[in-house]
Each structure stands twice: as C-alpha cells, then as structure tokens.
C-alpha cells in the first residue's frame, strides 16, 4: 500500500515536472494581435523558410548575408543590418523609448516592410502566418518574458495645417538640431551624418527626406509623429517626447513633409505657395539624367 502511494506520488511528480514547463512554454510561445493568436511552433517553420537568411539561426541578425562591421560601403544593398531579435531592441514602436514594442508594432512592420532596407513587406503572408512569426521571434529574447511592452504613446488629433505651423516646425528643426544629421534641406547629409553608428557600432545613415515617399516606420503623418516621439531605438535617432509638446511635434511633422519635395502633399502645396517655401523647394529639387533608381540621388 505504502509502496503504491509512493509510486503514485512519483508518477504525479514526474507528470507535474513535465506538464508545467510545457504549459508555461505554450503560454510563452504565443502572440496575441487583435483577435489573432500566433503560435511559436508554426512560426518557427515560417522563420526557417523566410527569415533565417538575414536574421540567422539564433535570431542574432547574423544570417548568411551578415556583413562584418565596416564593410557595408562595399555592399550598399545590405547596408542596414538585419534586426537582432536576441537584443530585442526595435526601431518601430508605438511605445516610449527603451521599452519593448507592442506585438501589434512588430506585426505592422511585417506588413509594411522597412523601406530602403533589405526587409520586404510580408503582406502576401496570411495574417495568421504573421502572428505565428511574431510568436516565434519573441522566443529569441528573455526580454519578452521579463519585461512588458511600454504603454503606447497617445497621438493627439492632427491640428489644422497652417503656414505658421510649418514655419514653427522649421524653427524647431533648427532648434532641435535635426539638421545636424538630416541636413539643412533634409538630404541626410548634415555635418554629423558620416559619423553616426547604431547600437552595434555599425555605420548608419540619416534618413533622406527628399528621396523617399515612405518612412522606415510608416508613411502617414501619424507614423512620422510617432517616430520622433518614440525615437528609433538602436539608432542615433532619439525620442523628443520630453523635449517638444504635442502641438509642436505636429508642426515639425508638417515641416518635414515639405522636405519631401518629390511627393505631392498638402503641406508641400501650402509651403510652395509662399515665396520662402517656393525658393526652398526649388533648391531641393534636382534635375538631370535619371539613373533609374526611382529616387533622387
């Protein structure tokens, strides 16, 4: 009888030892994005079909196309290194700087891709596939177990577009020294541009506003607002949440839009209607024989 009880306890103990980690890992191996629940085991299969070439077997961003520090000028296409999922530092977030992004932020990055990098849009995958991938990506870093994502920042309603707002944004561009990296006209050629490195000591280039219609973390005014209120973690682009007020941030958004001289926007149209704005836009616009790159060089 005694022996049977001991045996029962032993079996139950072993069962508990086996079951508890399985249950725990099942919870850790899930993502929750809206109504979707992603599963890491499925995401793993997708990762090793689509992602490992760049992000590597261990998610460290050192896949077969990883390029050692300093060699990027020879490989311009891959000059933006793949994300290191072990470090779990993400550029595109709706959460304050230094915090983990929402799972929805990662999902949005998969949908959107990262312009001017090797990361394409994965919009052709199913939404379930994307949720599964995120569940697996989150298994690479203990941060997802130990930390919680930050509280998403609030994006206040966009104020009415005015000349005064654009001019105020222009002043902020000078005052906050955005020009030091992005250049006076937004070409990404400021005096500090050539010295910038990311958190892995890899050289990194500031965004060229004149060349692209999309930003790394979106294409809308709200996305742009979020970029400089959350910062792009892992890059020299800081968060200005503690420096500018929301209405000032919107003015900056409106001014930055005027730097995108090849993209028709209400901001550019309004800005060009002024003498000062027309002169600035004319100075930014380039002409010449096209190279076929699709962007102004």
- Residues 125, 176, 243, 263: which binds another protein (CB under 8 A)? 125
Q: Rule CB under 8 A: say whether 127 interacts with another protein.
A: yes
Determine the interface stretch with another protein among 39-47, 158-166, 177-185, 196-204 (rule: CB under 8 A).
39-47
Q: Rule CB under 8 A: say whether 114 interacts with another protein.
A: yes
Q: Rule CB under 8 A: say whether 126 interacts with another protein.
A: yes
Q: Please return the burial class of 224, using the count of CB atoms within 10 Å of its CB with bins 0-12, 13-18 and 19+.
A: buried
What's the closest the beta carbon of residue 263 comes to another protein, in angstroms?
11
Give the span between the Cα atoms of 194 and 4, in whole angstroms: 75
Q: Which of 204, 220, 205, 206 is nearest to 263 (CA)?
A: 220
What's the closest the beta carbon of residue 38 comes to another protein, in angstroms?
10
- Residues 119, 138, 178, 249: which binds another protein (CB under 8 A)? 119
Give the span between the Cα atoms of 28 and 107, in whole angstroms: 17
- Residues 87, 115, 241, 263: which binds another protein (CB under 8 A)? 115
Binding map of another protein across residues 65-104, x = CB under 8 A, - = no contact: x--------xxxxx--------------------------
Q: Rule CB under 8 A: say whether 122 interacts with another protein.
A: yes
Q: Rule CB under 8 A: say whether 145 interacts with another protein.
A: no
Give the span between the Cα atoms of 111 and 55, in whole angstroms: 17
From residue 255, how far is each of 188, 260, 295 by CA, in Å? 15, 9, 21
What's the closest the beta carbon of residue 63 comes to another protein, in angstroms?
8
- For 39, the enclosing helix (H) or strand (E) is strand 36-39
Q: Look at the block and give the residue holding tokens 């209607």.
A: 273
Q: Rule CB under 8 A: say whether 124 interacts with another protein.
A: yes
Q: Rule CB under 8 A: say whether 57 interacts with another protein.
A: yes
- Residues 58, 145, 148, 245: which binds another protein (CB under 8 A)? 58
Q: Rule CB under 8 A: say whether 289 interacts with another protein.
A: no
Q: Which residues contact 263 (CB under 8 A, 6 or more apart)?
A: 213, 257
Find the binding residues for another protein in span 158-197 (CB under 8 A): none
- Residues 121, 194, 200, 279: which binds another protein (CB under 8 A)? 121
Secondary structure of residue 57 in the 3-state scheme: coil
Q: Which of 54, 269, 267, 283 is nearest to 161 (CA)?
A: 267
Give the span between the Cα atoms of 58 and 9, in whole angstroms: 39
- Residues 13, 120, 159, 266: which binds another protein (CB under 8 A)? 120
- Residues 104, 128, 222, 265: which binds another protein (CB under 8 A)? 128
Instruction: Give me the half-sphere count of Cα atoms (radius 13 Å) on the Cβ side of residue 267.
Output: 25
Q: Please return the burial class of 155, using the count of CB atoms within 10 Å of its CB with bins 0-12, 13-18 and 19+.
A: middle
Q: Are 266 and 253 in contact (CB under 8 A)?
A: no
76/157 with CB nearer another protein: 76
Binding site for another protein (CB under 8 A): 42, 44-45, 48-50, 52-54, 57-58, 64-65, 74-78, 113-129, 139, 211-212, 214, 290-295
């Amino acid at each position: 009888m005694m022996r049977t009880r001991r045996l029962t306890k032993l079996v139950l103990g072993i069962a508990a030892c086996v079951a508890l980690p399985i249950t725990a890992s099942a919870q850790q191996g899930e993502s929750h994005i809206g109504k979707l629940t992603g599963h890491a085991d499925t995401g793993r299969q997708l990762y090793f079909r689509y992602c490992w070439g760049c992000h590597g077997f261990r998610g460290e961003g050192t896949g077969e196309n990883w390029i050692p520090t300093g060699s990027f000028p020879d490989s311009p296409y891959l000059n933006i290194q793949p994300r290191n999922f072990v470090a779990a530092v993400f550029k595109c977030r709706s959460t304050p700087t230094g915090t983990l992004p929402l799972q929805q932020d990662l999902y949005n990055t998969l949908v959107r891709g990262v312009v001017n990098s090797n990361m394409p849009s994965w919009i052709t995958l199913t939404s379930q596939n994307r949720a599964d991938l995120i569940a697996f990506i989150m298994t690479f870093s203990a941060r997802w177990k130990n930390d919680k994502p930050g509280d998403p920042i609030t994006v206040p309603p966009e104020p009415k577009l005015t000349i005064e707002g654009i001019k105020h944004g222009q002043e902020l561009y000078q005052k906050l020294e955005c020009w030091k990296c992005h250049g006076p006209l937004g070409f990404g050629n400021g005096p500090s541009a050539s010295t910038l490195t990311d958190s892995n000591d890899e050289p990194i280039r500031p965004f060229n506003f004149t060349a692209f219609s999309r930003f790394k973390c979106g294409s809308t005014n709200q996305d742009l607002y979020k970029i400089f209120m959350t910062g792009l973690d892992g890059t020299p682009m800081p968060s200005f949440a503690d420096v500018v007020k929301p209405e000032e941030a919107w003015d900056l958004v409106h001014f930055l839009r005027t730097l995108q001289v090849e993209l028709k926007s209400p901001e550019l149209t309004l800005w060009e209607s002024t003498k000062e704005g027309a002169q600035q836009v004319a100075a930014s616009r380039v002409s010449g024989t096209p190279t076929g790159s699709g962007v102004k060089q």
